[in-house]
Amino acid sequence: MYSELPDFIEIRQSEETGRVIWTQSPIRAGSAIFVTKPYAAASSSSKLTSYCSYCFEQTGMNGLRRCTKCRVTHYCDFNCQTNDWAIHKHECASLQNWSKAAPSSDYPPPSDAIRCLSRMLWKMRKQGPYARQTREIASMQSHRSSLKPSAYESHTYLAHSLVQYLGLSSPGDMEQYSLSSAADLVDTISRFVTNTFTVTDPTLIPLGAAVSPVVALINHSCDPNAVVVFPRVSTDPKVQEPLMQVIAIRDIYPGEEVLTSYIDATLPTNLRQQALNETYNFECNCHLCTSTGLDPRASLNCPKNCGGSCPLPSDEHALVRCSKCKSVVRSVDAALDALRVGQEGLDKANNLQFEDPGKSIRLTTNLIPILTSAGFPPSAHPLLGLTRLHQQLLTSSFPNPLTQEHLDETIHTATTNVAGLTALFREGHPVLALALAELGKLLAVDEPSPRTTNKSVIYPPSGLPRLKLAYETLLRARKMLLIGFGVTNEGGQVGKEVREMIVALEKEIGVFRQGVKNVLEDTPKLKA
Ligand SMILES: C[S@@+](CC[C@H](N)C(=O)[O-])C[C@H]1O[C@@H](n2cnc3c(N)ncnc32)[C@H](O)[C@@H]1O
């Protein structure tokens, strides 16, 4: 079983955490520990028309080929369509039945979870119960016997939709999928929910859901030593994609467990624990979750601005002091109000970002100053989430022609985002690496109206100092991308792009310097 695992990786059994994987040899930061293609994957509903349902490549200039029968799945080309047919032929029939039974013509196809789960079941049926991969899927962890009440509703909903989508009308129909009872069905759903991954593009944008029993062997830590990414740089024929790569983001020593993070690690402990508990059914005991120290995700700046920080007050712990100068936070109510309003606003702004980006950006624009003036540092929740979203919204609404004001506001926001993420993630984490690359790219954009005077206090600078800052930022980003997306992947697609930008900027800075030198040399002659 698990033929993708290299020899130096060992599977062990732990009483508290189930199966775990350990390394017997040292692993360097930036190395791919193993690479695998998901057992089953399905793109999210919003990506179905713009990404290939087989290899997850984005549409090219010519658009994608649509399956003429179900009219739902799209493919890059004939090759991808043919490769997908073994599974899609079942899916195609289910999608057609789904749309025939739909209450209206614009009724959406089932969610990526249902489509991925069904793809998994069709493949297991085809391979048979004794095939290696079927056994690997069957041994993935299930929490059926200890499901949290909060999970009942989502599991019931999944079960109901799955039965409808697969067209199961009697208990006998389930047997073809080796499901002999309703309990088996819940077991399969629990196994799926506990072990599903998000397929992402090379910039970590979510594209859909995937199952891989070998990647599912990895346990969780909120401070992981490895990540799962899809760098998309393989030179093999693209039918290999999407390739999941497990990359070490720090040196891992013999006898250490390999751990990834299942959740958004920018969230404070209570929200991380809630997410882990609801979806994965465990309480995390990693050092971040058990630490009593100051957490930059839940802190305030010192009220006297001494440079220190205070823990975020709560209803139970209203008296908080700066860890450095011991000043007491007086504006506890203001901080708690800002936290509540910020959290509600972030949820709303996230929900509106595609449907009504104008409303979403108005929310982020209004909320960021409220949290900042209440003393939240850039790393604190929900300010960091609002800043990240604000940056995305600003970038996607660049006016044509671009204005210096819009560009500089986006750079300011990207800088605050990098500051927040730097306080949370180790060098080389892909989230931080991408944020730096984004900042470097923004600094390298041609300025619509550069300033003629360059006072060093103004940020972002203009002209040559800006180009130099772009260059230094991109160099730092590249170093981190080589870790987060793998050295042998050249830092993934973004790492390759950044390398090209660095070369172009070197030339541009050289030309700029030469131009200034020429002007300086010519000036006395002109005067004379
Ligand atoms: C993707 S699986 C990981 C592999 C799993 N240990 C197994 O035996 O198959 C996720 C499940 O592993 C367990 N798990 C993962 N990380 C854990 C941790 N840090 N502490 C406790 N349990 C953990 C939880 O039961 C979780 O639902």
Question: How far apart (Å, rounded) are the C-alpha atoms in residues 490 and 483?
Answer: 9
Question: From the CA of 18, how far away is ligand 1's center (Å)?
Answer: 6
Q: Which amino acid is at 507?
A: K
Dihedral, CA of residue 490, residue 493, residue 497 and residue 503, to nearest 10? 10
Question: From the CA of 37, how far away is ligand 1's center (Å)?
Answer: 21
- The yes-or-no verdict on residue 97 having pLDDT over 70 is yes
Find the range with the poorest average confidence among 234-238, 274-278, 366-370, 441-445.
Answer: 234-238
Substitution candidate for ligand 1 out of 218, 221, 280 with most atoms within 8 A of CB:
280
Nearest CA to ligand 1 atom 4: 217
What atom in ligand 1 is closest to the CA of residue 195? 1
Is residue 223 within 8 A of residue 64, CB to CB? The reply is no
The residues facing 74 across adjacent strands are 66
Question: How far apart (Å, rounded) are the C-alpha atoms in residues 332 and 328?
Answer: 10
Dihedral, CA of residue 233, residue 235, residue 238 and residue 243, to nearest 10? -50
Share of the chain above pLDDT 70, in %: 96
Q: Does the bond joining 460 to the residue before it have cis omega, within 30 degrees of 0?
A: yes
Q: Which residues, 6+ apart, have CB-to-CB distance to 64 below 8 Å?
A: 49, 50, 51, 52, 74, 75, 76
- State both tokens at 418: 């990098």
What atom in ligand 1 is closest to the CA of residue 194? 27
Substitution candidate for ligand 1 out of 16, 17, 214, 285 with most atoms within 8 A of CB:
17
- The yes-or-no verdict on residue 196 having pLDDT over 80 is yes
Q: Residues with beta carbon inside 6 Å of ligand 1?
A: 16-19, 140-141, 194-195, 216-217, 219-220, 280-282, 284
Exposed / middle / buried, residue 463 (Cβ in 10 Å: 0-12, 13-18, 19+): middle
Digit-coded pLDDT (tens) for 474-490: 999 999 999 999 999 99
Question: From the CA of 405, how far away is ligand 1's center (Å)?
Answer: 48
Nearest CA to ligand 1 atom 26: 280
Q: How many CA atoms lie within 13 A of 100 on its CB side?
A: 11
Nearest CA to ligand 1 atom 7: 19
Digit-coded pLDDT (tens) for 309-347: 999 998 888 889 999 999 999 889 999 999 999 999 999
- The yes-or-no verdict on residue 90 having pLDDT over 50 is yes
Q: Considering only residues 517 and 424, tell me which one the structure prediction assigns the higher pLDDT.
A: 424
What atom in ligand 1 is closest to the CA of residue 280? 27
Substitution candidate for ligand 1 out of 144, 212, 281, 282 with most atoms within 8 A of CB:
282
pLDDT band of residue 528 (cuts 50, 70, 90) is very low
Question: From the CA of 112, how far away is ligand 1's center (Å)?
Answer: 23
- State both tokens at 16: 């508290």
Is residue 460 within 8 A of residue 406, CB to CB? The reply is no
Question: From the CA of 40, how far away is ligand 1's center (Å)?
Answer: 20
Question: From the CA of 220, how far away is ligand 1's center (Å)?
Answer: 7
CB atoms within 10 A of CB 143: 19
Question: How far apart (Å, rounded) are the C-alpha atoms in residues 463 and 131?
Answer: 62
Question: From the CA of 7, how far away is ligand 1's center (Å)?
Answer: 22
Is residue 411 within 8 A of residue 460, CB to CB? The reply is yes
- The yes-or-no verdict on residue 53 having pLDDT over 80 is yes
Substitution candidate for ligand 1 out of 219, 222, 283 with most atoms within 8 A of CB:
219
Digit-coded pLDDT (tens) for 346-361: 999 999 999 999 999 9
Nearest CA to ligand 1 atom 23: 17
Question: From the CA of 276, how far away is ligand 1's center (Å)?
Answer: 10
CB atoms within 10 A of CB 330: 9
Digit-coded pLDDT (tens) for 127-142: 999 999 999 999 999 9
| Range 444-467 average pLDDT | 88
Find the range with the poorest average confidence among 143-147, 149-153, 236-240, 308-312.
Answer: 236-240
Question: From the CA of 420, how far away is ligand 1's center (Å)?
Answer: 29
Is residue 305 within 8 A of residue 329, CB to CB? The reply is no
Question: From the CA of 213, how far away is ligand 1's center (Å)?
Answer: 13
Question: From the CA of 254, how far away is ligand 1's center (Å)?
Answer: 21
| Range 454-462 average pLDDT | 82
Nearest CA to ligand 1 atom 13: 17
